[in-house]
Amino acid sequence: MTHMMPLMTRPRPRDADPMSPAELEAALRAIGAQRYHNLHPFHKMLHSGQCSLDQVRAWALNRYCYQACIPRKDGAVLAKIEDREVRRAWMQRILDHDGHLDDQGGIERWLVLTDSLGFDRDYVTSQQGALPATRFAVEAYVRFVWDNPGLTAIASCLTELFAPKIHAERIAGMLEHYDFTNDTVMAYFQKRLTQAPRDCDFALDYVLKNARTVDEQNGVLNALTFKCNVLWSQLDALYAAYVAPGMVPPGAWVPGEGETR
């Protein structure tokens, strides 16, 4: 994929013909191919073992904010959906993250990862050491869903179309390169390998069936671009603070803080 290709940032004119579902899917996939955060230099470092343990800690600590916002975001999506069957399917996402019956849920699995890095749980869940940009980005995701129609809100999760590939790469790369990892520590990502395809197949099907007008199609394309930016900007902030130039904002985590050992 070359970065010389034009980015799909401009909305199509309203008098254009709507795209067919196949064309819309191709346009959505083109956005991911150019903008998804698998391309970010921080992820390349993380997956190839080039991160120091403190850089991995910074990533896991900040990424907790994203985990914590996902069920809130899905609650906001639920409030937009009038179709009972769609709501029934969507509810599963909240249970997957918050836990249900015997399953402790994805947030708990994320805390197992931060435990293994030596963090105090209260420090992680307080989010007090997170970068300001992380907090802004994840809240912008919740707010985007809150402020937009149900179709657009649903489309904003379509970054997950590209997630299984990055999760598989992360599981293999982190197990190979970092001593603190094992199957229990990486269980969050292992679980997502089946949850994410189920979720995004459902969302893609919904979007392709329901985005019929040019305005609706522009709305869903814009939602995916926005969401790629939510993910990308978190890694930019992480890179600037903990890789180069090492500009840690006041109050954000510094190595040693919030750790139990």
Contact 162, 224 (CB under 8 A): no
Contact 31, 224 (CB under 8 A): yes
Q: Nearest approach, Cβ of 77 to ligand PQQ (angstroms)?
A: 8
Q: Does 160 bind ligand PQQ (CB under 6 A)?
A: yes
Six token digits for residue 203: 């969302």
Report the residue from 76, 81, 137, 166 that binds ligand PQQ according to the rule CB under 6 A: 166
Q: Nearest approach, Cβ of 17 to ligand PQQ (angstroms)?
A: 30
Query: Residues 6 or more apart from 221 whose CB is under 8 A from it?
Result: 8, 11, 24, 27, 28, 31
Interface map 52-91 toward ligand PQQ (x if CB under 6 A): ------------------x---------------------
The window from 17-25, 156-164, 208-216, 242-250 that contacts ligand PQQ (CB under 6 A) reads 156-164
Q: Nearest approach, Cβ of 261 to ligand PQQ (angstroms)?
A: 26
Which residue's CB is nearer to ligand PQQ, number 131 or number 155? 155
Backbone angles phi and psi of 208, in degrees to 5: -65, -30
Helix (H, G, I), strand (E, B) or coil at 142: helix
Q: Does 51 bind ligand PQQ (CB under 6 A)?
A: no
Helix segments in the chain, DSSP class H: 21-35, 41-47, 53-80, 84-98, 106-116, 121-126, 132-147, 150-155, 163-177, 187-210, 214-242
Q: How far apart are CA 134 and CA 216, in angstroms?
A: 29
Residues of this chain, 98-127, that bind ligand PQQ according to CB under 6 A = none
The window from 8-16, 22-30, 147-155, 163-171 that contacts ligand PQQ (CB under 6 A) reads 163-171
Which residues of this chain interact with ligand PQQ, rule CB under 6 A?
A: 70, 157, 159-160, 163, 166-167, 192, 231
